[in-house]
Amino acid sequence: MDKLHAIKVCREVARQGGFAAAGRRLNISTPSVSRLVSELEDHLGVRLFQRSTRQISLTEEGDIFLNRASVLVDELDVVSSEIRERRSKPRGHLRVSSVVAFGQEKIAPAVPGFLALHPEVTIDLHLDNRHVDLIQENFDLAIRVGGQDGLTASGLMARKLYAQKLIFVATPDYIRQYGAPESLDDVVLHQTVKQVSGNWGVVNLLEHDGAQVEFRMPEKFVVNSPNAAVNAVRSGHVMGLIGDYLVTDMIAQGQLHRILPDYATEDQPIYAVFVHRTYMPAKLRVFIDYIVETLGMRPTA
């Protein structure tokens, strides 16, 4: 027995003063109304209605029960309506985890525009390069670099947000003072900074004709932070192999120059990772859509 449905039927019987009238109001048959009333009475162990051939009325126990139960039913209807509205209208709090550099450079600048469009949403953005446990740590979304291995088994889903590649860059001052390498073999003769991220060490560089060339960046100066690598390059004393999303604007403004432009790493995808849900909350759905739309296609440097 669906107790909630049975309570609603009994309440309508009391309001309409009869089984047939309640059935017409609820668009169910009179026998169904009678059956639900009887099942609820059996469950409670009391009679809710006094029945006669001419009229039906609430018993004392029925009056007490329906008065109190109606309050609960109405409250449940209100809560259910609010929850359904949350699915259709962005509202509530989002906890987002992101890798540090991408979060600083791409996600954080996008958040204010999103909040301006959806003022009933609030966001906590946590920047950390570790893989957070979305469920245990109560995160709605994680921005991660790399593949989707293990997501299906873990009950997680992913949507591609962006694809970064590494490109060679240096400042105009560096090029004036030290020149620019004309080939990959020349790089070892230069002052360099190497960004280490995960297993990145040997990288596959692609020429414009699609041929792959294996290349290892010199290890004269190694850092594990993309932002630190960028700042080292901006000092004017080293060249680097840097994520394009970090330096595209600097190249456009002339602060950095791209060198060895025929070489770049293969694209490395960046994903929005979230817990699989049949009914995704509107706040999460529209946030992911907004980030995808805001980032758009990766600009070419």
- Indicate the average pLDDT of the chain: 86
The answer, yes or no, to whether residue 43 has pLDDT greater than 50, is yes
**Range list for CATH 3.40.190.290 in the chain:** 166-265
Q: What CATH architecture is 166-265?
A: 3-Layer(aba) Sandwich (3.40)
The answer, yes or no, to whether residue 169 has pLDDT greater than 50, is yes
pLDDT at 135: 80
The answer, yes or no, to whether residue 113 has pLDDT greater than 60, is yes
- Please tell me the CATH code under which domain 3-88 is placed: 1.10.10.10
Strand intervals (E) in 44-134: 49-51, 56-58, 92-98, 121-127
Q: Please give the average per-residue pLDDT across 127-153, as a whole number.
A: 79
pLDDT at 282: 87
Q: Please give the average per-residue pLDDT across 218-241, as a whole number.
A: 92
The answer, yes or no, to whether residue 119 has pLDDT greater than 90, is yes
Nearby residues of 280 by Cβ (< 8 Å), 6 or more positions away: 87, 274
How far is it, in rounded angstroms, from Cα 11 to Cα 9? Answer: 5
Q: Which two tokens stand for residue 116?
A: 């301006």
Predicted confidence band at 251 (pLDDT cuts at 50, 70, 90)? Answer: very high
The number of helices, as runs of H, and strands, as runs of E, in the chain is 12, 15
The answer, yes or no, to whether residue 300 has pLDDT greater than 60, is no
Percentage of residues in the chain having pLDDT higher than 70: 87
How far is it, in rounded angstroms, from Cα 203 to Cα 155? Answer: 31
pLDDT at 84: 64
Q: Which two tokens stand for residue 225?
A: 């932070």
Q: What CATH architecture is 92-164+268-295?
A: 3-Layer(aba) Sandwich (3.40)
Q: Please give the average per-residue pLDDT across 112-116, as a whole number.
A: 96
pLDDT at 176: 95
pLDDT at 57: 87
**Range list for CATH 3.40.190.10 in the chain:** 92-164+268-295
Closest CA to 159 of 264, 280, 246: 280
Please say whether the beta carbons of 280 and 158 come within 8 A. no
pLDDT at 118: 94
pLDDT at 38: 92
What pLDDT, in 10s, does the model give residues 252-267?
Answer: 999 999 999 989 888 8
Percentage of residues in the chain having pLDDT higher than 90: 44
**Range list for CATH 1.10.10.10 in the chain:** 3-88
